[in-house]
Amino acid sequence: MEKDFTRRTFIKGMAVGTMAGYLGAAGLSSTVFKNQLLPQEKLNQVDIGEIKALKIKVVSETSWYDNNVFLNDVKGAGGLLVNQYTIPWTCAGVAAGYQGSNLGGFSTYIEATLMDGKVMKIHFDTGWNPAWMEKRFREEGVAEKLAKKEIDFMVLSHEHIDHFFGLEATLKFYPDIPLYVPKGFYQEGFDFLKGKSFPAANAINNIPHRGKMTVLDSSKVNILYPGIALMTFDVPIILRVFGEQAFVFNVKDKGLVLVTGCCHQGIISYMEEVRKKVKGGEKIYAIEGGLHISPFEDWDPQYDDLIMAFNKYGVQKIGCNHCTGFITAEKMHKAGLPVIKGTARNMTKRDIYLGNGDELAIA
């Protein structure tokens, strides 16, 4: 009997001891010995090289002129998941629009000076309304550079209407322009590039693209030239679009500069990916382009957290516009973030961020 009693208490003690030992070992390994036991994530894996200087010109950031008209087009077609090639976008009768059309477009012109002095000229997105885009291309000298084939290549950030449907305005000047698109384009997108129109969506392109096209995927940081890279994100986007890519430039003595189209991947996710995958990612010097926070001027309290999170990255220049939203820019200014003001011209309504015709130079 005495032995049994001892055995019973021994087993009870062992049960308690096993739990204590397991939990204690787990606790110690995840705290005190964390660095020794947990494999460290490899950071700064890709050295993309350096450029000397960067100039970013906002050709057009005004994708549409009346939010209500745009939203009514979407609602009337069945909502945000409807295929963009089937929606009859409003092209007439809009008082705030360009020649009555609600369609504008997004396009940016970039000059990156390589370390050997060569200037790479990049056409980033081609907008929506071909008439508006051609006007802006002419006003900013982009049309002339396209016609003379001085522009090295075009990058399409993603397949959305306001970044892509103005294709004809580029191809009429330079039909064989080398092109980079992100993986995820639908067949309609490739057909549109080949010269097929979608009249139901007022998407007209009669000029086939005849140049080299490269489809980039998200498996790696795609280095185009030393100091110039594209990162692609597998992200589902409203209006039945998939995938977006954005630029990472590394400007000597400054740091990384991120240039986005719409940033549907999320600006914080984008910065985190850059930190993980690109050498120098701990120093993001500047961001330019759409940040996709309040494109329809709505606000949700969770966006406040997003704005506060910016401080962690120490970004020194924010040249946001487009789908960032005026309300976001206002809140960023109030939070003391270095948002660059614009000049509110060429149909950009306010000077609270970089608008049409404004420029950000980094050297």
Partner 1 sequence: MEEAKTAEAQEKSGWGSGIAVGILVGVALFCLTYALLIMAK
Q: Which residues bind partner 1 (CB under 8 A)?
A: 2, 5-26, 29, 37, 39
Nearer to partner 1, 6 or 269 (CB): 6
Lookup: tokens for 198: 């979608």
**What span, in angstroms and rounded, lies between the C-alpha atoms of 332 and 167?**
33
In the bound state with partner 1, the residue whose beta carbon lies nearer, of 22 and 299, is: 22
Shortest reach from residue 7's CB to partner 1, in Å: 7
Shortest CB 312 distance to partner 1, Å? 29
CA-to-CA dists, residue 179 to 153, 156, 174, 175, 302, angstroms: 6, 8, 11, 10, 37
* H or E, element range at 83: none
Give the residue from 244, 248, 245 showing the smallest Cα distance to 228. 248
Q: How far is the CB of 1 from partner 1 (least distance, A)?
A: 9
Q: Which is nearer to partner 1, 16 or 115 (CB)?
A: 16
Question: Which CB, 25 or 308, lies closer to partner 1?
Answer: 25
What one-character DSSP code corresponds to residue 340?
A: P
Nearer to partner 1, 13 or 100 (CB): 13
Distance in Å, CB of 42 to partner 1, minimum: 14
- Bridge partners of 251, per DSSP, are 51, 255
What is the distance between the alpha carbons of residues 206 and 237, in angstroms, rounded to a whole number?
A: 27
Cβ at position 43, least distance to partner 1 in Å: 18
Instruction: Give whichever of 16 and 147 is closer to partner 1, judged by the CB atom.
Output: 16
Q: Which two tokens stand for residue 33?
A: 């010995």
Q: How many CB atoms lie within 10 A of CB 252?
A: 14
Q: Least distance to partner 1 from the beta carbon of 274, Å?
A: 25
User: What distance in Å separates the CA atoms of residue 363 and residue 347, rounded to the nearest whole number?
Assistant: 29
